[in-house]
């Protein structure tokens, strides 16, 4: 199962992504900025002391919604409505 974390570059999203990855789950870190998502993946790799985490990928929020089997929203409350509107067409 692929787990998409929307807003995955913040404290809550990073914490969840790290724990899911450590448990061997496939994780997709989503962000408005793909570079931030990729940086989050690098941080997770460093925390897990791994040169490569093949089960963790970084991409935009929209891409993460399309790729994931389940999506977790971890953006602050004030940004939730805007974020949900931006990804609604990409979630089944």
Q: What is the CA radius of gyration of the chain?
A: 12
91 is a domain residue:
no
pLDDT, residue 49, reads: 80
Q: Domain residues for 30?
A: 2-84
Q: What is the CATH number of the domain that holds 17?
A: 3.40.50.720
Contacts of 89 (CB under 8 A, 6+ apart): none
pTM: 0.91
12 is a domain residue:
yes
89 is a domain residue:
no
Give the ranges where 1-92 is alpha helix by DSSP (H): 11-22, 34-47, 61-67, 77-87
53 is a domain residue:
yes
Mean pLDDT of successive 10-residue stretches along the chain, which has 92 residues: 96 95 94 97 87 84 97 96 95 85
Contacts of 33 (CB under 8 A, 6+ apart): 60
Count of domains for the chain: 1
57 is a domain residue:
yes
């Amino acid at each position: 199962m692929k787990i998409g974390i929307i807003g995955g570059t913040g404290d809550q999203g990073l914490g969840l992504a790290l724990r899911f990855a450590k448990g061997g789950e496939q994780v997709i870190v989503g962000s408005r900025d793909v570079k931030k998502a990729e940086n989050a993946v690098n941080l997770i790799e460093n925390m897990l002391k791994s040169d490569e985490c093949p089960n963790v990928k970084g991409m935009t929020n929209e891409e993460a919604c399309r790729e994931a089997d389940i999506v977790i929203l971890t953006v602050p409350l004030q940004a939730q409505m805007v974020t949900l509107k931006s990804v609604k067409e990409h979630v089944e």
